[in-house]
Each structure stands twice: as structure tokens, then as C-alpha cells.
């Protein structure tokens, strides 16, 4: 089709100087992330989950209030933040799954060979993926949380649970909600890279978030209270909860614990990426 | 320039690549030849650092691949399996690779044009035909304008037009002074493009030679000559470097080391009548089969098992 003698492009003498840098690797990963349709779709799904389920919960609260169930614990302990951020439980699944896809998807398709041939030092790829996906999930989480709370406070206005942006701790909770999604996303990126399998990564991530808390009930009660609060899911809950219960971590400690989990997963991923054949 | 020293890769008990030593030099097309499972792909993966050698080393332009500041500028590689995300367009795929190195967008457009992908560059690469997929792989390999180009089985599954395109591309790249390293399990393909050959079987180096030498080694270019007086013809033709074989009582001789033309002239000079004079070129395919016969991983059997073979009920795969 085309002539082959010009394959050289520029002549030897004027050879441009290229160099792989961390910044360029981030740029490349950024372009890769946004050039896949699955990224857009899954982010949209996450946004819809957070908003829709939060607003349904707000609406349900007002229905119960109006029906006179004021002593129902579900109604009694409720506050506007907790109600409106209910959808995070579902949004986190979409974000976590997308995180797994960002890394494990490269292994299942074979793209990883191109990626690592371009950046053979390997680790910058993992850091770049964690960085950009963490940033995207943070932004998405903050936007979704503010939107859910903003619209939700309209639904809840006049009720006992009604809160405004100006109330104590509200802004912190909403930003923490974004941080929570970012860290779950990073855990997904790390698990995908560690396990190199989309199915395996999703299974471990969802198992940890959904099944392990349930298994805690098998432990003696005194242990439950001590152990359970350190699970990723519960540590995350305490990050964005407006009020802490007896056996939950403070928001800051919740953040630190979840960061610890993410760091652990990343360390495992980095070890495998560096040590084993691609 | 690619240099392998005692390059070895073991997977558990199995040794895929066994103490390979070779050098791939610039300016020529070097064929990397061997039957399926000979360790060609593993060797190429080690060259670009996807697999780590169990022992030994391989360097590109004097350094390990990962130590280069701009690896795509040193080696452009097309590996056997598809190395793309099917959901990404050809342009976005190439552009994301270019971004890691700061390669300008202009060069991305250039390699797309070079490989004839203009019309499909914005389409999902997953929908590409085998031939377009290979072109995309080659576009990625050329992206950094590398001094060394390495292609694993580039003509596999291509139509004749595609094969011809690759052949011309390879010779063109070598003519520009680049190092071109191409693997294949087809000797006939290599014979058309390669000047130098590195032959492997079961991970071991079997030959590091030129195409010409390989033919000569395997007794290439024998001349068959039938005459009225073979005994006298033998005496006439005898000389340094000339080897003559023939059964007694037969009027046929097989001569190596002399061209058919020279034999004819000598016979005429001495008044020996010739009935037949023909050059029997050994095909490269035969030379290759001869070389790798003991190293083929899986032998097919075309002979019907005879009675005395039937008792040896050993699995086919364990032959050799």
C-alpha cells in the first residue's frame, strides 16, 4: 500500500531525543483511561448509583416520617448526611470494579505487553494508574456527594434529619465521601494489578467489601467490636459518617486505616509487577 | 545490535531457552528460525524485558532494554500475540504509547500513514482483521524510529499482499542500516528476506550462519552427471575442494564443488559423452528440516504403523 523505503521517517542525523518520564507516563495513562468507552460508562453508572440510591433513601425517610414511624430506629438515628450518602454503598462497587479494569483489563487483552515495552521500568505505570484513577474517583465522589446532599436536603427540608451545607461536619463528610471512593478505586487498581485477572480482582474486592463484614458475626462479640472497625468497608463508613458510634473509628483514623489498606494492596501489586514476568 | 550471552529461561523443569549466544548486527535482516516451541518468542520477550532471564543476559545497543531512557527509540517490537486493548482506536493506542516518550503527534500520524491505516485509524482496534492488526503492531514498532526492529512471526496469517509488504518493509529497514530481527518457523519465508540466520531448536542454538553457508553446509548445489565413462570422468574432474560420489557400475556421478558448466566443459575437452548434467539445489527447507529434525517438539507421523512398530507404543511427543 505505501512505500517502504521511507520507513525511517526523519533521517538519522536529526534524530529527536525522547525520554520516558513519570509525568509523561501519567499523561499516557490519562489518555488511555479516557479513550475507553468502559471508563465513561462505569463512571456514569457510579454517579447514578450514588445519586439515585441516596435520593430514594431520602424519599423513603420522609414517607416513613409522614406515616408516623417516628420511633423506628431507622428514622430516629437518621441525619441528612447519612441518608443522602446511602448510595455510596453502591457507587463504591462501580468505582472499585472500574479500578480493577484499569489494570487487570490490560492483562486480559494483552495491552500490558505494549505498556511495559514502552515503560520497561514498570513501577511508574502502576503509580500513574493509581494516581489518575484516584484523582478521577475523588472528583467523582466529591461531586456526587455534594449533589446528592444538595438535592437530598431539598427532599428532607422541614424534617428532623434536615441539614444544610453550613452545619457542623457536613462539608468534611462530603469531602471524605470523595476520598473514600478514591481509596476504594485505588484498592481496585492495586488488586487488578496484583491478581492480573478481571474476575479475580472483582471477586476479591467485592468479597472484602460485602462478604467479610458479614463473616465478622461468626467471631465472639468482644472481638467483633475490635476487629470489625478496621475492615475497609467499616473504616470507610466512619470516614464520612457525621457522628461516630461507640465501636467505630474517628473520621481521621478511618481515613488512615483505609489508606493503610490501599498502601498494602499497592505494595503487593508493585512487588508482583516488578518481580514476575509480564 | 542485539547481544545474547548464555541467555537462559527455565519454567520449572522445562528449559525454554538454553544458554543462547548470538549477536544480531545492523544493516542486515537476521532471521530467527526454529520449529514451534523452540523458544523464539520467549527469547524475544526477554530482549524487551517482558520476561526476566533465569540466567545469562541480553542487551540492546549495549544496555539492558529497561535501562534505556527511551526504549521505544532503541527497539521497536512486534510480538506474536496481539498487544492492544480492543476497545481503543488505533490512533489512541499509538498516541498513548507515544505520550510516554514525548514522541510528537506528527510521528503518530506518520506511522499510521506508513502502515496504510489512515482509513481505519479512528476505529476500534478490536474490529481489525489479522492483517490490519499486524500493521498496527508494526506501526507501534516503528513509532520511536528505532535503530533495532524486532518482529515475531510477522507474516503469520497474512494474505500474499501483506506478506509482500512486510518483506519489502524489512529489506527497506535493513538497507537504512537498522538492525532487523525477524522470527519465523518458515524457512521458505526467511530464504526470501533474511541474509543471516540464527536457528534454534528446543531452546538451543543450532546454527548461526548465513543463508548461503547453510545451503553449502547441507551439501547444497550438487551436480548430477551421467556419462559414458564415469571412471575417467572422475579422474578428469578430481581436484582440490571437489567431491565426487557414485556407485560402481552406475553411469551416474554426484559432484560437489564444481559448477555444471565447468563439468560440461571439462567432459567436452576430454571427449567424454554426457547423457545428463543437472544441478540439484538443496532447498533451504530441506536444510532446515535436516538441522532441526531432532529438535522438533512434536512430531507428526504420516506413516502407517507397521507390525514391528506397533509394540513400541510410546507417545508421539516423546520422540527425539
User: How high is the pLDDT of residue A243?
Assistant: 83
Tell me how far apart the alpha carbons of residues B292 and B199 are, in angstroms, rounded to a whole number.
Answer: 8
CA A264/CA B219 separation, integer angstroms: 64
CB pairs under 8 A between A and B: 138
pLDDT at residue B192 tops 50: yes
Give the chain B residue nearest A3 (alpha carbons): B114
User: How many angstroms separate the CA of residue A106 from the nearest CA in chain B?
Assistant: 7
Domain locations in chain A? 32-53+81-155+163-275
Flag whether pLDDT at B310 surpasses 60: no
Residue B220's pLDDT is 62
Q: Say if residue B142's pLDDT is above 90.
A: yes
CA distance A65 to A63: 5
Half-sphere exposure of A277 (CA within 13 A, CB side): 14
pLDDT of the residue at A178: 96
Number of helices (H), then strands (E), in chain A: 13, 0
**Cβ of B176 and A7 within 8 Å?**
yes
Set of chain A residues whose Cβ sits within 8 Å of the Cβ of B145: 8-10, 15-16
Average pLDDT, chain B: 86
What is the pLDDT, as a whole number, of residue B283? Answer: 67
Q: Which residue has the higher pLDDT, B202 or A126?
A: A126
CB contact under 8 A, A24 and B173: no
A31 interaction partners in chain B (CB closer than 8 Å) = 92, 95-96, 99
CA of residue B71 relative to chain centroid, distance:
24
Residues of A whose CB is below 8 A from B66: 120-122
Chain B positions in Cβ-Cβ contact with residue A7 (cut-off 8 Å): 114, 142, 169, 172-173, 176
Instruction: Establish if B198 touches chain A: CB-CB under 8 angstroms.
Output: no
The pLDDT of residue B162: 87
Residues of A in contact with B99 (CB under 8 A): 24, 27-28, 31
B308, pLDDT greater than 70: no
| Residue B309: pLDDT over 50 | no
Q: What is the pLDDT along chain A (278 residues), one digit of tens a residue?
A: 444 444 444 445 568 889 999 999 999 999 999 999 999 999 999 999 999 999 999 999 988 888 887 777 777 778 889 999 999 999 999 999 999 999 999 999 999 999 999 999 999 999 999 999 999 999 999 999 999 999 999 888 888 888 888 888 899 999 999 999 999 999 999 999 999 999 999 999 999 999 988 888 888 888 887 888 899 988 988 999 888 877 788 989 999 999 999 999 999 999 999 999 98
Chain A partners within 8 Å of B12 (Cβ): none
Of B87, B102, B175, the CB nearest to A37: B87
Do residue A35 and residue B83 have CB atoms under 8 angstroms apart? no
At B67 the pLDDT is: 95
Helix (H), strand (E) at residue B165: helix B160-175
- The three cell numbers locating residue A128: 500513574
Check CB contact of B164 with chain A, cutoff 8 Å. no
Q: What's the pLDDT tens digit per position in B230-250?
A: 888 888 888 888 888 888 778
Report pLDDT digits (tens) over B43-65: 999 999 999 999 999 999 999 99
Which of B23-27, B273-277, B288-292, B312-316 is the least confident region?
Answer: B312-316
| Residue among A227, A265, A217, A220 nearest A249 (CA) | A227
Cross-chain residue pair B83–A106, CB shorter than 8 Å: no
Write down the pLDDT at residue B300: 62
A97, A202 Cβ separation under 8 angstroms: yes
Closest residue of chain A to B166, computed from CA coordinates: A4
**Cell 532503541, located at residue:** B74
Task: Supply A126's cell numbers.
Answer: 502502576
Non-local (6+) Cβ contacts of A11 within 8 A are: none
Put simply, the answer to whether A277 touches B95 (Cβ < 8 Å) is no
CA distance B299 to chain A (A): 30
Q: In this complex, is the C-beta atom of A147 within 8 Å of any C-beta atom belonging to chain B?
A: no
Does the pLDDT value for residue B212 go beyond 80?
no
Measure CB to CB from residue B172 to each of A4, A15, A19 and give the nearest one: A4
> What percent of chain B is predicted at pLDDT more than 70?
88
Q: Do B50 and A37 touch (CB under 8 A)?
A: no
Q: Which of B93-102, B156-165, B194-203 has the lowest mean pLDDT?
A: B156-165
CA distances from A139 to A58, A106, A128, A181 (A): 23, 24, 17, 9
State which residue of chain B sits closest to A115, comparing Cα positions: B97
Question: Å from A110 to nearest chain B CA?
Answer: 4
Q: Which helix (H) or strand (E) holds B31?
A: strand B29-33
**Measured distance CA(B279)–CA(B301) in Å, rounded:** 31
Closest CA to B46 of B69, B77, B25, B85: B77
Q: Which of B123, B51, B32, B116 is nearest to B84 (CA)?
A: B123
What does the block give as the cell for A9?
A: 521517517
Whether residue A20 and residue B176 make contact (CB cut-off 8 A), yes or no, is no
Residues in A touching B113 (Cβ below 8 Å)? 2
Cα dihedral A270, A272, A274, B1 sign: negative
* Residue A177 · residue A240 · CB < 8 Å: yes
Neighbour tally for A174: CB within 10 Å: 24
Integer Cα distance of A195 and A209 in angstroms: 17
Could you read off the pLDDT of B95-135 as tens digits, one per residue?
999 999 999 999 999 999 999 999 999 999 999 988 899 99
**How many whole angstroms separate alpha carbon B276 and alpha carbon B250?**
13
CB contact under 8 Å between A4 and B169, yes or no, is: yes
Amino acid at each position: 500500500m505505501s512505500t517502504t523505503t521511507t520507513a525511517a521517517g526523519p533521517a538519522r542525523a536529526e534524530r529527536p531525543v525522547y525520554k520516558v518520564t513519570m509525568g509523561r507516563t501519567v499523561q499516557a495513562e490519562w489518555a488511555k483511561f479516557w479513550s475507553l468507552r468502559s471508563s465513561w460508562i462505569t463512571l456514569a453508572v457510579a454517579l447514578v448509583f450514588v445519586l439515585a440510591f441516596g435520593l430514594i433513601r431520602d424519599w423513603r425517610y420522609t414517607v416513613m416520617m409522614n406515616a408516623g414511624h417516628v420511633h423506628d430506629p431507622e428514622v430516629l438515628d437518621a441525619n441528612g448526611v447519612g441518608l443522602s450518602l446511602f448510595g455510596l454503598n453502591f457507587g463504591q462497587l462501580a468505582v472499585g470494579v472500574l479500578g480493577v479494569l484499569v489494570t487487570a483489563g490490560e492483562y486480559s487483552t494483552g495491552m500490558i505487553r505494549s505498556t511495559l515495552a514502552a515503560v520497561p521500568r514498570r513501577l511508574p505505570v502502576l503509580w500513574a494508574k493509581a494516581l489518575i484513577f484516584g484523582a478521577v474517583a475523588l472528583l467523582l465522589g466529591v461531586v456526587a456527594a455534594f449533589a446528592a446532599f444538595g438535592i437530598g436536603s431539598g427532599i428532607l427540608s422541614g424534617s428532623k434529619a434536615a441539614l444544610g451545607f453550613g452545619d457542623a461536619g457536613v462539608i468534611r463528610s462530603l469531602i471524605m465521601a470523595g476520598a473514600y471512593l478514591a481509596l476504594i478505586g485505588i484498592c481496585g487498581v492495586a488488586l487488578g494489578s496484583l491478581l492480573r485477572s478481571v474476575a479475580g480482582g472483582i471477586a476479591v474486592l467485592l468479597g472484602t467489601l460485602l462478604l467479610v463484614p458479614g463473616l465478622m458475626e461468626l467471631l465472639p462479640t468482644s472481638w467483633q467490636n475490635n476487629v470489625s472497625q478496621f475492615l475497609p468497608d467499616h473504616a470507610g463508613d466512619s470516614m464520612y459518617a457525621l457522628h461516630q458510634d461507640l465501636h467505630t473509628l474517628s473520621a481521621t483514623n478511618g481515613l488512615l486505616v483505609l489508606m493503610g489498606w490501599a498502601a498494602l494492596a499497592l505494595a503487593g501489586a508493585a512487588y508482583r509487577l516488578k518481580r514476575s514476568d509480564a | 545490535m542485539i547481544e545474547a550471552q548464555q541467555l537462559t529461561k527455565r519454567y520449572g523443569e522445562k528449559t525454554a531457552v538454553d544458554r543462547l549466544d548470538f549477536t544480531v548486527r545492523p544493516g542486515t535482516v537476521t532471521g530467527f528460525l526454529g520449529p514451534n516451541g523452540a523458544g523464539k518468542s520467549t527469547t524475544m520477550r526477554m530482549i524487551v524485558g517482558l520476561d526476566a532471564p533465569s540466567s545469562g543476559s541480553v542487551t540492546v545497543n549495549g544496555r539492558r532494554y529497561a535501562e534505556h531512557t527511551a526504549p521505544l527509540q532503541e527497539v521497536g517490537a512486534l510480538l506474536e500475540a496481539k498487544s492492544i486493548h480492543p476497545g481503543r482506536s488505533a490512533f489512541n493506542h499509538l498516541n498513548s504509547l507515544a505520550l510516554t516518550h514525548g514522541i510528537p503527534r506528527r510521528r503518530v500520524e506518520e506511522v499510521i500513514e506508513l502502515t496504510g491505516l489512515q482509513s481505519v485509524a479512528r476505529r476500534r482496534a478490536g474490529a481489525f482483521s489479522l492483517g490490519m492488526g499486524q500493521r498496527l503492531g508494526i506501526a507501534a514498532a516503528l513509532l520511536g524510529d528505532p535503530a533495532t526492529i524486532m518482529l515475531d512471526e510477522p507474516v503469520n496469517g497474512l494474505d500474499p499482499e501483506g506478506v509482500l509488504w512486510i518483506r519489502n518493509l524489512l529489506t527497506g529497514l535493513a538497507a537504512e542500516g537498522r538492525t532487523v530481527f525477524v522470527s519465523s518457523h518458515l524457512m521458505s519465508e526467511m530464504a526470501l528476506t533474511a541474509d543471516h540466520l540464527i536457528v534454534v531448536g528446543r531452546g538451543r542454538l543450532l546454527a548461526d550462519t548465513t543463508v548461503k553457508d547453510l545451503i553449502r553446509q547441507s551439501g547444497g548445489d550438487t551436480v548430477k552427471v551421467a556419462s559414458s565413462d564415469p571412471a575417467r570422468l572422475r579422474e578428469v574432474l578430481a581436484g582440490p575442494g571437489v567431491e565426487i560420489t557414485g556407485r560402481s557400475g552406475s553411469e551416474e556421478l554426484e559432484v560437489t564443488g564444481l559448477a555444471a558448466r565447468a563439468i560440461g566443459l571439462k567432459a567436452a575437452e576430454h571427449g567424454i559423452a554426457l547423457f545428463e548434467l543437472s544441478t540439484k539445489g538443496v532447498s533451504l527447507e530441506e536444510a532446515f528440516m535436516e538441522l532441526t529434525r531432532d529438535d522438533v517438539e512434536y512430531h507428526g507421523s504420516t506413516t502407517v504403523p507397521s507390525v514391528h512398530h506397533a509394540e513400541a507404543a510410546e507417545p508421539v511427543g516423546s520422540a527425539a
